[in-house]
Amino acid sequence: MCIHGDVKSYPSAKINLQIDGYASQVVTGVAEKLPYPVVVGKDWEHFGRVLKVQVKDVELRKEEECSADIGRLFPFKDPDLFSTRARVHKSKTQRKLEKREWADIQDVEHKCPVQQVIAGEDMGQQAGDPGDPIPELGTSPRDVRQAQKNDPTLSGAYDSLAVANGHVLDALKHSQFPHFMLRDELLYRVCKHPNTGDLCEQILVPKGYRRQLLQLSHSIPLAGHLGREKTLAHLLYRFFWPGVYKEVENFCKSCPECQLVAPKGQVKAPLIPIPLVELPFERIGVDLVGPLEKTAAGNHHILVIVDYATLYPEAIPLRNTSASTIANELIKLFSRVGIPKEILTDQGTNFTSKLMKEVCALLNIKSLKTS
C-alpha cells in the first residue's frame, strides 16, 4: 500500500543484506524502478546501528568542509592541526608541563643554526597587522619549494642538512636534535617533543607564508583566538621558522579581537606620600624589644619610643609588658616632652587594650596601627 491508499502486489525474494558490516537474511519486495538499490525500513533488526554510523559520517564530512580553506592553503598539512571538538579539561600539572614545554622550545629556537635576522628587518615585525588581508600566494608544494630556496632566512638550514631524500649526509647531525632534512625537495626541521620524545617533522615556512599561517592558527573561527601557548601548539606541530616564538607573541598581543575581550589588568594603587611632621614629638612610634637576658634590676624588655620629626629615640627598661606598665611610662614621657597628636604602634594586645584606648581618648591622641 502506498501513501495515496493504492494497493499493488510485488514479487518477494529472500536476500542476504549486508550494510556497514551488519548482515542478515531478509524477505524483501522486488520493484522494477527504485531511486536506490535497496530501501530499508525501521523493522530491519540492524537499522538503529547503521543509522548511527551514517550520522557520524555526515558530521565528519561537515568538519572536513569547514577546514577546506586550510587545505587549499597547505594541501600537505596535517588534518589534526585544527579541531572543532570540545576542549579537554587539563589538570594544573598538565598546564605546568605545557608551559615548561614551550619554554624548552624557545630555548631550542635560539640554538637553531638558521639565520635569525635579515639586515635592516626586525623579526618581531614580520607578521604584520592581524587585521590586514591575506595576500594571494601560490600554495602548491612546488611554489613552497621555490619560496624556501629563495628565502635568505632559511639558507643556513640548507648548509646544515643532515638528511637529503632518505640519504644521511652527516651522521653526527642526524643523531642530534633538532636537525634539518630535505624530502621531496621540501625543507623540514626534525625535533623531539620535549615531553613525549616523539619525532616531529616541521616544515620550514618561507617568509611570504608566515602571516597566512598566523592568521589561520589564531584568527579564523576554527582557531578560536587562542593565547600564545596554544597558538604555538598549533603551529609548531607541523611548522617552524626563525623567530616563530616572538612573532606569535607579537601577533596575539596585536590582535584587535583579542584586545577587545582580554581582561584588563588591575590598576596599581598610587603611592601616597607620608605627611611631613612639623613639630618635635607631634608623632611618635612605640614598639617593644625583647625578651632579653634579665638584668640585676629584673628588667628583660625595652620600650622603644622614636620621634618622627627629629628621630630622637627613648629606650625605657621594663620588668613586664602589661598595658598598665606601658601606659605609665608613656605618661612619664608626655610630662617631659608634651602630649603628641599621633601614636604609631603595631597590633599587639598590650597596645590595643581597652586601657590604652582610654588613655588615648582622654589625652586626645590619635592611635595609628601598622598593618
- Would the CA dihedral through 212, 218, 224, 229 be positive or negative? positive
Q: What is the pLDDT of residue 2?
A: 53
Rounded Cα distance between 182 and 160, Å, is 11
Between 342 and 81, the higher pLDDT residue: 342
User: Which band of pLDDT confidence, cut at 50, 70 and 90, is reported for residue 351?
Assistant: confident
pLDDT above 70: residue 344:
yes
Between 347 and 99, the higher pLDDT residue: 347
DSSP character string of 129-150: -TTSPPPP---SHHHHHHHHHH
Mean pLDDT of 343-354: 85
151-160, 231-240, 352-361: which has the highest mean pLDDT?
352-361
pLDDT above 80: residue 346:
yes
User: Which band of pLDDT confidence, cut at 50, 70 and 90, is reported for residue 88?
Assistant: low
Look up the pTM and report it.
0.38
pLDDT in tens, 224-234: 777 778 888 77
For 98, the enclosing helix (H) or strand (E) is helix 92-111
Q: Are the C-beta atoms of 29 and 11 separated by less than 8 Å? A: yes
Between 136 and 175, the higher pLDDT residue: 175
Residue 368's nearest CA partner among 338, 340, 341, 345 is 345
Domain boundaries 98-261, corresponding CATH code: 1.10.340.70
Domain boundaries 283-369, corresponding CATH code: 3.30.420.10
Domain locations along the chain: 12-66, 98-261, 283-369
| 3-state SS class at 173 | helix
Rounded Cα distance between 12 and 237, Å, is 57
User: How far are the Cα atoms of 133, 160, 218 from residue 211, in angstroms, in the given order?
Assistant: 10, 26, 10
pLDDT above 50: residue 86:
no
pLDDT in tens, 231-287: 887 778 788 888 888 888 888 888 887 777 777 777 787 887 877 777 888 888 888
Q: Are the folds of 98-261 and 283-369 the same?
A: no
pLDDT in tens, 169-188: 777 877 778 888 888 878 88
Mean pLDDT of 96-124: 46
Q: What is the pLDDT of residue 283?
A: 87
| 239 bridge partner residues | 203
pLDDT above 60: residue 85:
no
- Rounded to 5 degrees, φ, ψ at 331 are -65, -35
Q: What is the pLDDT of residue 177?
A: 80
| 24 bridge partner residues | 17
Between 317 and 101, the higher pLDDT residue: 317
For 172, the enclosing helix (H) or strand (E) is helix 171-175
User: Which band of pLDDT confidence, cut at 50, 70 and 90, is reported for residue 103?
Assistant: low
pLDDT in tens, 293-332: 888 888 888 989 888 888 888 888 888 888 888 888 888 8
Rounded Cα distance between 190 and 236, Å, is 11
| 3-state SS class at 315 | strand
Q: What is the pLDDT of residue 57?
A: 63
User: How far are the Cα atoms of 24, 296, 302, 348, 351 from residue 330, in angstroms, in the given order?
Assistant: 103, 23, 13, 16, 11
